[in-house]
Chains A and B, each alone.
Chain A
């Protein structure tokens, strides 16, 4: 007899795991190749440089702006529309002399009647620091989570969840690399939030796997894991849906500044949902989880028994 009652879905996730593995492997390989070949299109937060967003009364003449910049000898500039054709984003790579004054002189050059909407200048040293700090933050987040999950569950669960997280982060980065979307500090924040979110999903599934191991006499891990996935499926999908709903609102209505942030979260939530179903649980099966690993040790049992 199965634990499942009639209305719960009975999808055989475990037998489909080979396809999932192949799919994940493909995504990972493509992501890693793209990251290796063309890398991320790092924003000025990390490279250093200057960014100016200006608004015009009418449609802006990009060619005119480019000519002006070129005649003033600003090398490495990128001029594009931002959101609408009355708004222009000018980006300058770090110049030989990179100072906060650069933006003032460019704004002066563009002439009167423009609305300066945003200026960002990041010195080369600061860019370097932010890159290091960003990398460290990812690392610390992963280590913190590893410790918590190992402490609350068991090391195989910790490894399984980290595998799922690394999977999610690499693929999300991969999408940013393939589509060459600007990767700035807010996107990094989004990726850290994805780590939190994806983990949230994974933990819910793991919790159920542990509960099922404890509550049944079954010792075969595969059906237990499969049951857990089915039991949590409705919740996994519901939560992903509500989260995606608000993210879509943010993506379409939140404005250009928040666009890539919301985009990163949308990609991350989709990948994270997939990985919590297919990757994390497959990993713990591959690591050879069994009922004995879950049961409280003798010492813990005594502690539990000693409780009133």
Chain B
């Protein structure tokens, strides 16, 4: 008795071999690297690899290797000096079709990656980086939709002059009519052409209707706003140059952005949350500014704006072009060394600009910088959202000559402001204001500390348990130690296969598993001891010990598994990482502590006459 059939042993050995093979990639370190990928539709090609090699050679920068993997180019370096200088170099030489980002690339030997070996990826808390949770202002989305339907409704009803007046009341559109017949006609028209508008129940009177946007149209507007914001955020992150960013929808109105390895988090914050654009308007030079300011009467067709320093100026309400027409923007300095942004417009924008500058030569044109903000504040103990919109004139200059789609704007505060504006204009505007509602930043030094401390505590804890088990259970203890070591290896194997992200709480989960994994073996061994004391035959004691402990182990582990599954389902990032490794550890420990340890015990003691057990 106590003998496993050969196929069973072979299966165990095979499984252990596979997990050892695929856990292996994790022991190789990482190379400092630069990752280059294409933006938008552009995909990097072999030709790019050659060009980059030549650029690096021309500038005498040493690199380990350059390769094209999964449509991105990875350049590995020996030291951070050459990594950083190449990043600056490549960013300048490559066009804007490329994203140049710093990265850490695992240095797995070729044969291992050929068989599909991958290392676990490290979480932000271990490698440094930023985690943002952004919330889209959905009320603003709905109110923008109301504005849109307001215009559509007017257009639809105007053709036959059906309505007397239309006004917005909160999220409702209230339409009044001259006669009931006109109302009936309008209702039919609305039903046919504006099916997204519903008549609010009970709101209908003889000559009036209240309309609301149907809930399906509202949620469509919300989800498209969210999607569009994600696209814009992705563009902005690409502009920042981040390798392996994560930009994901979370729930119906939130977006998670994770940027590993970002150094300048302040800039990342400025860029991600900004809802900024520019508009070009003509200065109203017919009306007198002083009179308008003093009397408070703003002439029809004009609007009062202010410069950043507070000086007022009357601008015409009609906009020449907006940020929507901008296809490219780059920051720089003008001849007088002032920061500027050079703009390229699309063809429609260029045409309008050309016509305007022809017609209004020697008039003044102003650039208005518009920024939408939303902030959550606590007011009298209540959480409220505060929205604000700033519209500042950053520049008003005389049109010296005609121009169309290429020109510059100046009047910016600093070079940094110019850089940020250029980036925002390039990446496109957000369709609705967003707000950072959670931030977790881990600096690179803390990340390195966390890895080092995490590893040390795993190793020390592991060693202590090994010593203790060996001392307490002798040969059986060594078998349990073998099982425990294999358990650690299998956890690493599974995490690598799942391409799970290892975090500090994840390491804590592994540490806890190490402590708890021996539990199954302790249960079995104590049971064997008991059986021996009942004067059972040694072989029988071993098999009875395993058999009787089995149900207990299953019960105990399933309940722990329930707790960790709850942890996983409710948890945010940190807690989830812990739950994942704990759950995996519980399951693998059952395999190693029961099956593997039994196989080894069988090999040592099984099928022969044993005088005494070293337990």
Which residues of A approach B to under 8 Å, CB–CB? 5-8, 53, 55, 94-101, 103-104, 107-108, 115-126, 128, 130, 133-134, 136-137, 140-141, 144-145, 148-149, 152, 185-186, 188-189, 192-193, 195-197, 199-201, 203-204, 207-208, 211, 231-232, 234-235, 238-239, 241-250, 252-255, 257-258, 261-262, 265
Interface residues of B in 550-583 (CB under 8 A from A): 551-552, 555-567, 569-572, 574-575, 578-579, 582
Q: Tell me, yes or no, whether B93 is within 8 Å of chain A by CB.
A: no
Chain A CB within 10 A, most for which of B135, B559, B560, B574: B559
Q: Tell me, yes or no, whether B345 is within 8 Å of chain A by CB.
A: no
Please judge, given known A-B contacts A243-B512, A246-B511, A246-B515, whether A116 and B441 are in contact too, CB under 8 Å. yes
Q: How far does the Cβ of B479 sit from chain A's closest Cβ, in whole Å?
A: 15
Contact of B436 among A55, A100, A192 (CB under 8 A): A100
Cα–Cα, bound, A99→B472 (Å): 55
Cα–Cα, bound, A117→B561 (Å): 34
Contact of B563 among A95, A120, A149, A199 (CB under 8 A): A199
Q: Are A101 and B552 in contact (CB under 8 A)?
A: no
Q: Across the two chains, which residue of chain B brings its CB closest to A122?
A: B438
- Residues of the B chain whose Cβ atoms lie less than 8 Å from the Cβ of A118: 441-443, 446
- Residues of the B chain whose Cβ atoms lie less than 8 Å from the Cβ of A107: 266
Cα–Cα, bound, A204→B552 (Å): 6
Question: What are 18 residue pairs bridging A and B, where the CB atoms are less than 8 Å apart in the complex?
Answer: A100-B132, A108-B266, A117-B442, A118-B446, A128-B383, A130-B572, A137-B567, A186-B574, A189-B571, A193-B564, A239-B516, A239-B522, A243-B512, A243-B519, A246-B465, A253-B456, A254-B453, A257-B450
Chain A CB within 10 A, most for which of B133, B505, B518, B563: B563
Q: Are B441 and A120 in contact (CB under 8 A)?
A: yes
Q: Are B505 and A261 in contact (CB under 8 A)?
A: yes
- Residues of the A chain whose Cβ atoms lie less than 8 Å from the Cβ of B125: 257
Q: Across the two chains, which residue of chain B brings its CB closest to A139?
A: B566
Cα–Cα, bound, A144→B534 (Å): 38
Given contacts A125-B383, A246-B515, 11 further A-B contacts (CB under 8 A): A5-B530, A98-B376, A118-B441, A119-B440, A134-B570, A196-B582, A203-B552, A244-B515, A246-B512, A253-B456, A255-B454
Q: Are A189 and B575 in contact (CB under 8 A)?
A: yes
Q: Tell me, yes or no, whether B464 is within 8 Å of chain A by CB.
A: yes
Q: Are B468 and A245 in contact (CB under 8 A)?
A: yes
Contact of B511 among A108, A249, A257 (CB under 8 A): A249
**Binding site of B, secondary structure by majority: helix, strand, loop or mixed?**
helix
Q: Across the two chains, which residue of chain B brings its CB closest to A247?
A: B515
Q: Are B446 and A208 in contact (CB under 8 A)?
A: no
Q: Across the two chains, which residue of chain B brings its CB closest to A135?
A: B570
Q: How far does the Cβ of A22 sit from chain B's closest Cβ, in whole Å?
A: 29
Contact of B562 among A96, A100, A121, A148 (CB under 8 A): A148
Q: Tell me, yes or no, whether B462 is within 8 Å of chain A by CB.
A: yes
Cα–Cα, bound, A288→B133 (Å): 52
Q: Are A192 and B563 in contact (CB under 8 A)?
A: yes
Q: Are B508 and A250 in contact (CB under 8 A)?
A: yes
Q: Are A5 and B383 in contact (CB under 8 A)?
A: no
Q: Are B514 and A246 in contact (CB under 8 A)?
A: yes
Contact of B533 among A6, A108, A133, A149 (CB under 8 A): A6
Q: Across the two chains, which residue of chain A brings its CB closest to B560?
A: A196
- Residues of the B chain whose Cβ atoms lie less than 8 Å from the Cβ of A243: 512, 515-516, 519
Contact of A5 among B449, B456, B514, B533 (CB under 8 A): B533
- Residues of the A chain whose Cβ atoms lie less than 8 Å from the Cβ of B563: 141, 144-145, 192-193, 195-196, 199
Cα–Cα, bound, A121→B376 (Å): 13
Q: Are B523 and A235 in contact (CB under 8 A)?
A: yes
Please judge, given known A-B contacts A246-B461, A250-B461, whether A196 and B564 are in contact too, CB under 8 Å. yes
Contact of B462 among A130, A137, A201, A246 (CB under 8 A): A246
- Residues of the A chain whose Cβ atoms lie less than 8 Å from the Cβ of B110: none
Cα–Cα, bound, A8→B534 (Å): 11
- Residues of the B chain whose Cβ atoms lie less than 8 Å from the Cβ of A200: 516, 519, 556-557, 559-560
- Residues of the B chain whose Cβ atoms lie less than 8 Å from the Cβ of A265: 512
Chain A CB within 10 A, most for which of B377, B552, B569: B552
Interface residues of B in 340-369 (CB under 8 A from A): none
Q: Are B453 and A253 in contact (CB under 8 A)?
A: yes
Q: Are B518 and A98 in contact (CB under 8 A)?
A: no
Q: Tell me, yes or no, whether B439 is within 8 Å of chain A by CB.
A: yes
- Residues of the A chain whose Cβ atoms lie less than 8 Å from the Cβ of B468: 241-242, 245
Listed from nearest, the 10 A-B pairs whose CB atoms lie closest are A246-B461, A196-B563, A243-B515, A249-B461, A123-B437, A100-B436, A196-B560, A246-B515, A137-B570, A255-B453
Cα–Cα, bound, A244→B526 (Å): 19
Q: Are B518 and A242 in contact (CB under 8 A)?
A: yes
Q: How far does the Cβ of A53 sit from chain B's closest Cβ, in whole Å?
A: 7
Q: Are A245 and B461 in contact (CB under 8 A)?
A: yes
Q: Tell me, yes or no, whether B138 is within 8 Å of chain A by CB.
A: no
Q: Are B273 and A189 in contact (CB under 8 A)?
A: no
Q: How far does the Cβ of B354 sit from chain A's closest Cβ, in whole Å?
A: 40
Q: Are A203 and B559 in contact (CB under 8 A)?
A: yes
Q: Across the two chains, which residue of chain A brings its CB closest to B558?
A: A148
Q: Tell me, yes or no, whether B501 is within 8 Å of chain A by CB.
A: no
Q: Are B440 and A199 in contact (CB under 8 A)?
A: no
Cα–Cα, bound, A99→B273 (Å): 11
Q: How far does the Cβ of A230 sit from chain B's closest Cβ, in whole Å?
A: 11
Cα–Cα, bound, A193→B529 (Å): 30
Interface residues of B in 103-148 (CB under 8 A from A): 125, 132-133, 135
Please judge, given known A-B contacts A94-B378, A254-B457, whether A126 and B533 are in contact too, CB under 8 Å. no
Q: How far does the Cβ of B545 sit from chain A's closest Cβ, in whole Å?
A: 12
Cα–Cα, bound, A258→B266 (Å): 26
Q: Across the two chains, which residue of chain B brings its CB closest to A83?
A: B449
Please judge, given known A-B contacts A128-B383, A242-B515, whether A119 and B439 are in contact too, CB under 8 Å. yes
Q: Across the two chains, which residue of chain A brings its CB closest to B131?
A: A120
Q: Are A258 and B570 in contact (CB under 8 A)?
A: no
Cα–Cα, bound, A122→B132 (Å): 10
- Residues of the A chain whose Cβ atoms lie less than 8 Å from the Cβ of B266: 104, 107-108
- Residues of the A chain whose Cβ atoms lie less than 8 Å from the Cβ of B133: 126
Q: How far does the Cβ of B269 sit from chain A's closest Cβ, in whole Å?
A: 6
Q: Across the two chains, which residue of chain B brings its CB closest to A119?
A: B441
Q: Across the two chains, which residue of chain B brings its CB closest to A107?
A: B266
Please judge, given known A-B contacts A107-B266, A249-B457, A262-B508, whether A98 and B574 are in contact too, CB under 8 Å. no
- Residues of the A chain whose Cβ atoms lie less than 8 Å from the Cβ of B458: 249
Q: How far does the Cβ of B265 sit from chain A's closest Cβ, in whole Å?
A: 7
- Residues of the B chain whose Cβ atoms lie less than 8 Å from the Cβ of A255: 449-450, 453-454
Q: Tell me, yes or no, whether B375 is within 8 Å of chain A by CB.
A: yes
Q: Are A192 and B269 in contact (CB under 8 A)?
A: no
Q: Are B465 and A242 in contact (CB under 8 A)?
A: yes
Cα–Cα, bound, A130→B572 (Å): 9
- Residues of the B chain whose Cβ atoms lie less than 8 Å from the Cβ of A141: 562-563, 566-567
Cα–Cα, bound, A53→B575 (Å): 21
Please judge, given known A-B contacts A140-B570, A235-B522, A235-B523, whether A254 and B454 are in contact too, CB under 8 Å. yes
Q: How far does the Cβ of B514 sit from chain A's closest Cβ, in whole Å?
A: 5
Q: Are A5 and B567 in contact (CB under 8 A)?
A: no
- Residues of the A chain whose Cβ atoms lie less than 8 Å from the Cβ of B548: 211
- Residues of the B chain whose Cβ atoms lie less than 8 Å from the Cβ of A196: 559-564, 582
Q: Are A126 and B438 in contact (CB under 8 A)?
A: yes
Contact of B526 among A95, A119, A235 (CB under 8 A): A235
Q: How far does the Cβ of A46 sit from chain B's closest Cβ, in whole Å?
A: 12
Q: Across the two chains, which residue of chain A brings its CB closest to B439?
A: A121
- Residues of the A chain whose Cβ atoms lie less than 8 Å from the Cβ of B173: none
Cα–Cα, bound, A199→B516 (Å): 13
- Residues of the A chain whose Cβ atoms lie less than 8 Å from the Cβ of B462: 246
Q: How far does the Cβ of A115 sit from chain B's closest Cβ, in whole Å?
A: 5
- Residues of the B chain whose Cβ atoms lie less than 8 Å from the Cβ of A239: 516, 518-519, 522
Q: How far does the Cβ of A304 sit from chain B's closest Cβ, in whole Å?
A: 14
- Residues of the A chain whose Cβ atoms lie less than 8 Å from the Cβ of B519: 200, 235, 239, 242-243
Q: How far does the Cβ of A266 sit from chain B's closest Cβ, in whole Å?
A: 11
Cα–Cα, bound, A96→B460 (Å): 46
- Residues of the B chain whose Cβ atoms lie less than 8 Å from the Cβ of A234: 526, 529
- Residues of the A chain whose Cβ atoms lie less than 8 Å from the Cβ of B375: 97, 99
Q: Are A126 and B575 in contact (CB under 8 A)?
A: no
Q: How far does the Cβ of B517 sit from chain A's closest Cβ, in whole Å?
A: 9
